Structure 1
Amino acid sequence: MKDLGHGANINSMAKEYNKNPKDIIDFSSNVNPKVISGLEKYIIEGLAECRSYPDINYTNLKNNISKYISVSQDFIIPGNGATEIIYLLMKSINKRLAILNPTFSEYERSAKLNNLEILHLNLDIENKFEVNMELIKENIDKFDSLFICNPNNPNGKVKDLTELLKLMLENNKLLIVDETFMEFVEDEEKYSLVKYIEKYENLFILKAVTKFFGMPGLRLGYGLSSNKDIIEKIYHYKEPWTINSFADTLSNYIFKDEEYISQSKNYYIQERQYMLKELRSIKNITVYDTDTNFVLIKLSTKSANDIKVQLFKEGNILIRDASNFIGLSNDYIRIAIKSHDENELLIKYMKKILGD
């Protein structure tokens, strides 16, 4: 199978270096380490539902999402992870797409597979990955849709996109925003554009359940839009029953677990500060600010692959080599923020390898 260049390649790395995959701590995968209380009970309930086909219209699931984000069910498109929605969206929009890089590679891959014309625009890497509004204005006639991730992967910084949304509306362009990691942000309500979904048809938002709720294997995400034309096209291409009974059943509980949501947000507010402080005490690296559950780092004395291999061999730690993100060199790595004990272990080995 082709290497798609994502994190979490534990098995292949373990095989190469003769390690047990279960011994590896995966800092390459950006997933909440906290587990929903009662998960086992919900899974057993979902297992009982597997005797029947899922509801082809996902009525219960959409209702649960609707209550969680305060958006009408009519504007919610559930998917087998946010990735399914990305690929369906690429089939459903006009042919010219601009992508703000560096960012998640599946935007480009899905666009290429659907023969879209891709215009690569860059975030201002030298200025903390700021959105370059002048660059977008200069190229406004060269695209029909603009794709941006907020908070952005791989640098993790959230941006106020209201000015960008205004520009897209003024020029009748579609703004596509991936808010997969938005729930990790302390001031989520301030930065999320979900509040504009019902007002503006020129806006499409991607969300994922599995990152914040710590279950990437569940494969549950959704798209939001009030653009009836795009919604109809997506459902024209969408395969039936792509969301399983486990995801549907879990949606009855996870969105209502206010304690889990609150504890997770508070944990990341505190742990981000700890990680940034400790990482910045290490020599020869640049640590970028983050608002989510991962940190981007630029190395000065080692390549990304060298430190990835060294951490794996010496500490059973897997990090993300970020050099394959468009616009980043082989000096960049990305690490997830995991449990405090695991984070301490990572810091220990990074100091050992890089010096403190």
Structure 2
Amino acid sequence: MKDLGHGANVDLMAKSFNKKTEDIIDFSSNINPRVVPNLDKYILEGLNNCKSYPDINYTKLKRNIGKYLSINPNYVISGNGATEIIYLLMKNLKKRLGILNPTFSEYERGAKLNNLEVISFMLNKDDEFSVNLKEIEENINDIDSLFICNPNNPNGKIKNIEELLNIMTKHNKLLIVDETFIEFVENEDDYSLIKYVEKYENIFIIKAVTKFFGMPGLRLGYGVTSNKDLIEGIYKYKEPWTVNSFADTLSNYILKDEDYIKSSKEYYVVEREYMINSLRQHENIQVHDSDTNFILIRLENMKAEELKLKLFRDSNILIRDASNFIGLDENYIRIAIKSHEENVVILNELNKILGE
């Protein structure tokens, strides 16, 4: 299989170095390490529900998501992870798609597989990956829609994009926002465009349950829009029963667990500050601001691949070589924020390599 260049390739790396997968600490995958309470109980209920097909319309699942977001459940399209939603959406876009880079590579891959023309706009990495609104408006006639990740992967910085929404609305263009990591943001309601979905039909938002709730293997994502043509177009291509009974069942519980949601947000506020401040003790690296559960770093005196291999070989730590993101060079790495104990481990190992 072709290497798609993502993180979380633990099995392949372990096999290459004759290591045990369970011995590896995976900092390449951006997942909440905190376990949802009563998860085993919910999984058993999901197992029992596997005896029947899931509801083909996912009525209860969409209702649960609607309550979680305080939106009309008819605006929700559930999928087998956010990636399914991305690929279904690409089948319904007009010819020219703008993408703000550096960002998640599956946007461009999905676009090209559906014969879309991709127009790349570059975020300003010298200004914490800010958006050049003037450039977008000057080139607005070259695109039919625009894809932005907020908070962005790989740098994790959240942006207020209401002005961008105003530009896209004024010119009758579709704005697609990937909010997959927004639950990790301290004041997410200040930045999410969910509150504008009913008012504006030119918004399509992509979200995922499994990253914030720490279950990427569950594969549960969804799209949100009030655009009836887009909804109908997606269901024209969407395969039935792509969300399994486990994900369907867990939505009855985890989206309502206010204590888990609150404590996870509070944990990341504190731990993110600790990690960033600790990393910035090193003069020979550049640590970018982050509002989510991962941190982008530029190494001054070492290549990303070299550090990745050294950490894996000597310390059983896997990080993300971020050099394959469009616009980033061979010195960029990305590390997840995991449990405090695991974070201490990688900080100590980096101290040994980079110097106190």
Q: Which letter maps to 1:21?
A: T
What does the per-residue CA deviation read over 1:176-204, in whole Å, with 9 as the maximum and x for residues that have no partner? 00000000000101000000001100000
Distance (whole Å) between structure 2 residues aligned to residue 141 and residue 63 of structure 1? 38
Structure 1 length normalisation: TM-score? Answer: 0.99
What does the per-residue CA deviation read over 1:111-163, in whole Å, with 9 as the maximum and x for residues that have no partner? 00000010011001121100011111121110000000000000000000000
Count of residue pairs brought into register by the alignment: 356
Residue 262, structure 1, aligned to residue 262, structure 2:
yes
Which residue in the other structure is 1:219 paired with? 219
Distance (whole Å) between structure 1 residues aligned to residue 58 and residue 12 of structure 2? 36
Structure 1 residue 316: Cα displacement? 0.5
Q: Determine helix, strand or coil for the equivalent of 1:83.
A: helix
Distance (whole Å) between structure 2 residues aligned to residue 333 and residue 106 of structure 1? 19
Which residue in the other structure is 1:128 paired with? 128
Structure 1 residue 5: Cα displacement? 0.4
Distance (whole Å) between structure 2 residues aligned to residue 106 and residue 19 of structure 1? 29
Distance (whole Å) between structure 2 residues aligned to residue 15 and residue 320 of structure 1? 17
Distance (whole Å) between structure 2 residues aligned to residue 183 and residue 120 of structure 1? 27
Which residue in the other structure is 2:78 paired with? 78
Distance (whole Å) between structure 2 residues aligned to residue 35 and residue 41 of structure 1? 13
The alignment-based identity, stated in percent, is: 67
Distance (whole Å) between structure 2 residues aligned to residue 164 and residue 129 of structure 1? 15
Distance (whole Å) between structure 1 residues aligned to residue 134 and residue 200 of structure 2? 23
Q: Which letter maps to 1:133?
A: L
Structure 1 residue 289: Cα displacement? 0.5
Which residue in the other structure is 1:244 paired with? 244
Retained in 2: the 8 A contact 1:283–1:355? no
Which residue in the other structure is 1:22 paired with? 22
Structure 1 residue 283: Cα displacement? 3.0
Which residue in the other structure is 1:5 paired with? 5
Consecutive aligned runs of 4 or more in structure 1 exceeding 2 Å deviation = none
Which residue in the other structure is 2:306 paired with? 306
Which residue in the other structure is 1:196 paired with? 196
Distance (whole Å) between structure 2 residues aligned to residue 71 and residue 275 of structure 1? 35
Structure 2 length normalisation: TM-score? Answer: 0.99
Unaligned runs of 5+ in 1: none
Distance (whole Å) between structure 2 residues aligned to residue 17 and residue 281 of structure 1? 31
Q: What RMSD over aligned residues (CA atoms) do the two structures have, in Å?
A: 0.5
Which residue in the other structure is 2:284 paired with? 284
What does the per-residue CA deviation read over 1:208-255, in whole Å, with 9 as the maximum and x for residues that have no partner? 000000000000000000000000000000000000000000000001
Distance (whole Å) between structure 1 residues aligned to residue 248 and residue 258 of structure 2? 19
What does the per-residue CA deviation read over 1:89-113, in whole Å, with 9 as the maximum and x for residues that have no partner? 0001111100000000000000000
Alignment of 1:133-172 (within 5 A): 133-172=133-172
Residue 33, structure 1, aligned to residue 33, structure 2:
yes
Which residue in the other structure is 2:117 paired with? 117
Which residue in the other structure is 1:338 paired with? 338
Residue 44, structure 1, aligned to residue 55, structure 2:
no
Distance (whole Å) between structure 1 residues aligned to residue 95 and residue 334 of structure 2? 32
Distance (whole Å) between structure 2 residues aligned to residue 91 and residue 21 of structure 1? 37
Distance (whole Å) between structure 1 residues aligned to residue 96 and residue 110 of structure 2? 13
Retained in 2: the 8 A contact 1:8–1:26? yes
Q: Which letter maps to 1:302?
A: M
Q: Which letter maps to 1:96?
A: R
Distance (whole Å) between structure 1 residues aligned to residue 315 and residue 134 of structure 2? 45
What does the per-residue CA deviation read over 1:273-321, in whole Å, with 9 as the maximum and x for residues that have no partner? 0001100012310000000000000000000000000111111000000
Q: Which letter maps to 1:95?
A: K
What does the per-residue CA deviation read over 1:56-110, in whole Å, with 9 as the maximum and x for residues that have no partner? 0000100100100001011000000000000000001111100000000000000
Retained in 2: the 8 A contact 1:101–1:122? yes
Distance (whole Å) between structure 1 residues aligned to residue 125 and residue 267 of structure 2? 28
Residue 325, structure 1, aligned to residue 301, structure 2:
no
Q: Which letter maps to 1:140?
A: I
What does the per-residue CA deviation read over 1:300-351, in whole Å, with 9 as the maximum and x for residues that have no partner? 0000000000111111000000000000000100000000000000000001
Q: Which letter maps to 2:21?
A: P
Q: Determine helix, strand or coil for the equivalent of 2:213.
A: coil
Q: Which letter maps to 1:191?
A: Y
Q: Determine helix, strand or coil for the equivalent of 2:289.
A: coil
Distance (whole Å) between structure 2 residues aligned to residue 24 and residue 149 of structure 1? 29
Retained in 2: the 8 A contact 1:283–1:354? no
Distance (whole Å) between structure 2 residues aligned to residue 126 and residue 157 of structure 1? 13
Q: Which letter maps to 2:153?
A: N
